[in-house]
Amino acid sequence: MSVRRCLGCMRPIGEEDPCPYCGYSKNDPAPVNALPPKTVLSNTYVVGKVLDMGQDGISYIGFDGYSQKPVLIREFMPQSLAQRQGSQVMPLEGQEAMYKALLSDFEELYTALSNLKQLPSLRRVERLILANNTCYVICEYFDCITLSQYLQENAGELDWEMAAPMFRRLMEDISVMHQHGVLHRGISPDSLVLTANGEMKLTHFTVSGFWGENGRPAQLAEGYAAPEQYSKTAPHGEWTDVYSLCAVLYKVLSGTMPPAADTRTVNDNLIPLNQLVEGVPPVVSQGIMAGLMVDQQLRLRSMRQLIQAVYYATYEAPVSVPQTEETTGEYVPGPQPEKKKNWFVRLPVWAKVLLICLPFVVLVIVLLWVLMMPDYGPSEQPYSSLNSSSTSQIVSTVSPSGSGTSSGGEESGTSSAGSDTVMIRVDDLRSHQLEAVMNSDIAQQFNIVTTEEYSNTIENGFIISQSLEPGTVAAQGSTLELVVSKGKQNVIVPSYSGYSLNSYINELENLGFTVTVEQQYSDTVTSGSIIGTNPAVGTSVDRSVSSAITVYQSLGRDPATISSTPTSSSTPESSSSTSSGEEPTSSGGETTTEPDPEPGAAD
């Protein structure tokens, strides 16, 4: 039985109009160039009202007729380069090459994001649909408010104790995102949102390449964009997102937006954060200011460095050249180095040679004296490598006050200086992605051993539990056992409608399936498209019993039968493609085998 839903919020409303929840009316006009409400994509997704319109596309609320849940639909529709002609998006005359290039960038960006769906701080990308000469991205939908709105409701600023846990997970996930080659380039209080359960997520990913008539990027968050974003030639990198996130932190902790980066290149009057606001820890202020350096060569270069700076205080700010303390009103610091240089130049050649060789002569004499000592010999107890460990680490270290002496003597092979044990504070790794942990310094501090088990609450690849209690200390090199989720034990085989073969295989593998591809001839499905699966789409599979799935790919019509007259008898291929009760249908230029989810029920 169909249920009439509001196209503004996708809630059931029966015959009421306007919607009692969001106020949307079915008579509300759609913006120019937007898809008409009730448009159905891939025979599955119903398009609702427009949520926002950007330079590279339009976002709609949608409804997934298969899962019966709201979704967010992002359509590539750059209005400066294209227009809508019926259901097709057509580039404007003379803009064909630019449209094609940016469409490719759009598809590449969201394909990369679809492989990062396990990162909770990013809006999850479910699938891409290529149709109507454009690309549609199906994303998760959730109720949220922007960080800007949240700050307005909280006196315009937050203290560090409240902001620290909100941003920690976000920084970790952005760091992993950067490792996969994805940049955001638009982090601001408007692209960061807070969900109903308090999670912070990064949204509004866009492709770069849109420039306005004023010579600036079309989508530029003033005050949060990095200096290099004002240039068409300056390179972008992880440091670009670092600048933007530090600008957001500056706004969150002080209530004041930093000056636009292009004005700071002329007159940098940015006040250090801890001088502007009392209560901000000096190390936090130092780390944020290091991320806001105008010169990208002096700026923190990665999100990992920012995490270390503000959470672990392991960053050392660049030291500027100090002025000479003995400077008086009669003397300028600059000439002193020149004076030393002239003094050396005036020396005779033999004196210069003597001064240059003197340190080496002294070094040789010291070495000979040491080697000739009667008690000299190689140490039987070399120093432990732990004493020379790097200080740039993701966890803090504590050395015991007593040095102690090894009771094993020569058997231990370590001296008393090497017996000092470096202790590591154990971080809480639960609900963190294993990949992010293995790419951090924690992997060098502990001997990590992983086991996997199914979980209906923790996503695939995320840590369920750990053997060392968070907050305790353990010796460096200790074994840290991590239990990692394999995802849900019972998984429903997803629809392949709108997927290419490779993208569908990738989707299945992300769900934990082991995929086998078999090719068959088919009189009804075009060559290269998917005929069906075994188990069939919609089947609930217990992965503890078997995670194998077979995908059948069409080879097109059998050459041996092309010249023959078609008969009414069914082929083995058509029999296998309809054995699950699915009827191939065409929608939006795609071949699908999904049952109609009755999308017309939304109104």
pLDDT at 352: 67
Strands (E), 273-431: 397-398, 423-425
Q: Using CA atoms, how far apart are residues 165 and 168, in angstroms rounded to an integer?
A: 5
CB burial of residue 44 (10 Å; 0-12, 13-18, 19+) = buried
Token digits of residue 294: 């105008």
Domain segments of the chain: what residues? Answer: 1-141, 337-367, 416-485, 490-601
The answer to whether 491 and 513 have CB atoms below 8 angstroms apart is yes
Question: Hey, how many other C-beta atoms are within 10 angstroms of the C-beta on 315?
Answer: 18
The reply to whether omega before 566 is within 30° of 0 (cis) is: no
Please tell me whether the overall predicted TM-score, pTM, comes out greater than 0.75 for this model: no
pLDDT at 219: 66
Mean pLDDT on 106-116: 95
Q: What are the tens digits of pLDDT across the range 183-198?
A: 999 999 999 999 998 8
Nearest 5°: the CA angle 583, 587, 591 is 55
**SS3 letters across 487-556:** CCCEEECCCCCCCCHHHHHHHHHHCCCEEEEEEECCCCCCCCCEEEEECCCCCEEECCCCCEEEEEEECC
Question: CB-based contacts of 453: which residues, under 8 Å, 6+ apart?
Answer: 464, 483, 484, 485, 486
Mean pLDDT on 222-251: 93
The answer to whether 287 and 300 have CB atoms below 8 angstroms apart is yes
pLDDT at 119: 94
pLDDT over 90 (residue 20): yes
3-state secondary structure of 586: strand
Q: What are the tens digits of pLDDT across the range 260-269?
A: 998 998 888 8
The answer to whether 113 and 181 have CB atoms below 8 angstroms apart is no
**Predicted confidence band at 595 (pLDDT cuts at 50, 70, 90)?**
very low
Q: What are the tens digits of pLDDT across the range 333-362?
A: 433 344 444 455 556 666 767 777 888 888
Average pLDDT over the chain, rounded to whole? 80
The owner of tokens 């923790």 is 458
The answer to whether 102 and 110 have CB atoms below 8 angstroms apart is no
Q: Using CA atoms, how far apart are residues 41 and 35, in angstroms rounded to an integer?
A: 11
pLDDT over 90 (residue 550): yes
The answer to whether 96 and 72 have CB atoms below 8 angstroms apart is no
Question: CB-based contacts of 446: which residues, under 8 Å, 6+ apart?
Answer: 424, 468, 474, 476, 477, 478, 479, 480
Domain 416-485, second-level architecture = 2-Layer Sandwich (3.30)
Phi-psi region for residue 158, left (φ > 0), alpha (ψ -120 to 50) or beta? beta
The owner of tokens 């930093």 is 258
pLDDT over 50 (residue 407): no
Residue among 361, 230, 227, 248 nearest 293 (CA): 227
CA distances from 215 to 93, 218, 237 (A): 22, 9, 21
**SS3 letters across 101-159:** HHHHHHHHHHHHHHCCCCCCCECCEEEEEEECCEEEEEEECCCEEEHHHHHHCCCCCCC
The beta-carbon contacts of 533-538 under 8 Å, at least 24 apart in sequence, are 533/493, 533/496, 535/493, 536/493, 536/579, 536/580, 536/581, 536/582, 537/493, 537/494, 537/495, 537/496, 537/580, 537/582, 537/593, 537/594, 538/492, 538/493, 538/495, 538/580
Q: Using CA atoms, how far apart are residues 312 and 310, in angstroms rounded to an integer?
A: 6
Q: Using CA atoms, how far apart are residues 555 and 47, in angstroms rounded to an integer?
A: 33
The identity of residue 529, as a single letter, is S
The answer to whether 497 and 538 have CB atoms below 8 angstroms apart is no
**Cα end-to-end span (Å), the chain:** 15
The owner of tokens 């408010």 is 145
CA distances from 436 to 339, 433, 440, 463 (A): 54, 5, 6, 11
pLDDT at 217: 62
Sequential DSSP letters for 351-388? HHHHHHHHHHHHHHHHHHHHHT-TT----SSPPPGGGG
Higher per-residue confidence, 408 vs 142: 142
Question: CB-based contacts of 320: which residues, under 8 Å, 6+ apart?
Answer: none
pLDDT at 316: 53
Instruction: Average the pLDDT over each of 174-178, 333-337, 472-476, 493-497 and give the range with the smallest value.
Output: 333-337
**Predicted confidence band at 244 (pLDDT cuts at 50, 70, 90)?**
very high
Token digits of residue 358: 């003197």
What's the topology of domain 1-141? Phosphorylase Kinase; domain 1 (3.30.200)
Q: Does domain 490-601 have CATH number 3.90.1640.30?
A: no
Q: What are the tens digits of pLDDT across the range 112-137?
A: 999 998 899 999 999 999 999 999 99
Question: How many Cα neighbours within 13 Å face the side chain of 391?
Answer: 6
Instruction: Average the pLDDT over each of 93-97, 311-315, 317-321, 477-481 and give the range with the smallest value.
Output: 317-321
Residue among 1, 226, 201, 33 nearest 132 (CA): 33
**Two domains, one topology: 416-485 and 490-601:** yes
